[in-house]
Amino acid sequence: MEALPTNPAAVRELIAELEREKSEDKLGTYKPYAKQKAFHEAGATYRERLLIAANQSGKTFAGGCEVAYHATGKYPNWWKGRRFDKATAGWACGETNEVVRDAAQRILIGRPGAQGTGTIPKADILETVSARGTPDLLDSIKVRHIDGGVSIIGIKSYQRGREAFQGESLDYCWCDEEPDAAVYSEILTRTNINAGPVLITFTPLKGMSEVVRRFLIEKSPDRSVTSMTLDDVDHYSEEEKKNLLRAIPRMSARPVRRVFLPSAVVASFRLPKKA
């Protein structure tokens, strides 16, 4: 065994090298929280999954890790979710070109200029294809799969509309933040052939939309909902959690708005006298 360096400069260099190696293989060090793990495991049973969670709670990272597992085939020993034994074709989607670049794409491969520091190990990134019109946005990522094949991850944004989601056949799709109903319907169609998993990770900011209603109201044996709050994560101290909660605007005791319902109005009438 090689002796560890004692020279301060050499020690700093060794630490930097270890940190670099760690940053380029985040997938190998991912240890999910209980709710993240439950979300992954639901994939073995449910085709459609929703991880509904607070901002900065680790929901996007969980989605990015699952996509990296499907693309590389490097499932960990603890994995009990859906598995693919061959190279895959999937999508990672977000609200706009800029948002999907700064969120899902960043989680998968790292920031511009730091490619290989995301959930896909640097050694497994074979090629990245740039998209047109938005700086640093990718069209697709080619990833080495353990079976020797090449997986493809397409980067898509909802702003392109439903038409941009037509035509392809996919093994899976990851929606980071909520798509509208038309886009989500098209995504389900793209994954129909293999009954591929569709996973959604988002913070509920649009109220009771059609997609939210689909998961929370329209129950189905094909759908699963996992809720994760700040109490379910460990990367914040208790004081930081309190500060984050205090920063959330409190709901007024008054109604946000009044709704006039003509059907609830009746013509005036005289009450009968008490007998």
- Cα–Cα distance, 9 to 14 (Å, whole number): 9
230 touches 35 (CB < 8 A): no
As a dihedral over the C-alpha atoms of residue 12, residue 15, residue 20, residue 22, rounded to 10 degrees, the angle is: -170
- Comparing CA positions, the residue from 70, 72, 51, 99 lying closest to residue 199 is 51
The CA-based angle 184-84-55, given to 5 degrees, is: 45
Q: In this structure, is the dihedral angle defined by the CA atoms of residues 121, 123, 124 and 130, taken in order, positive or negative?
A: positive
126 touches 134 (CB < 8 A): no
What distances in angstroms separate CA 198 from CA 69, 104, 118, 172, one per listed residue?
15, 15, 21, 6
The one catalytic residue in 41, 48, 177, 178 is 177
Our answer to whether residue 13 is catalytic in this structure is: no
- Cα–Cα distance, 143 to 148 (Å, whole number): 10
268, two tokens:
């005036």
- Cα–Cα distance, 161 to 180 (Å, whole number): 9
Q: Which residues are catalytic?
A: 177
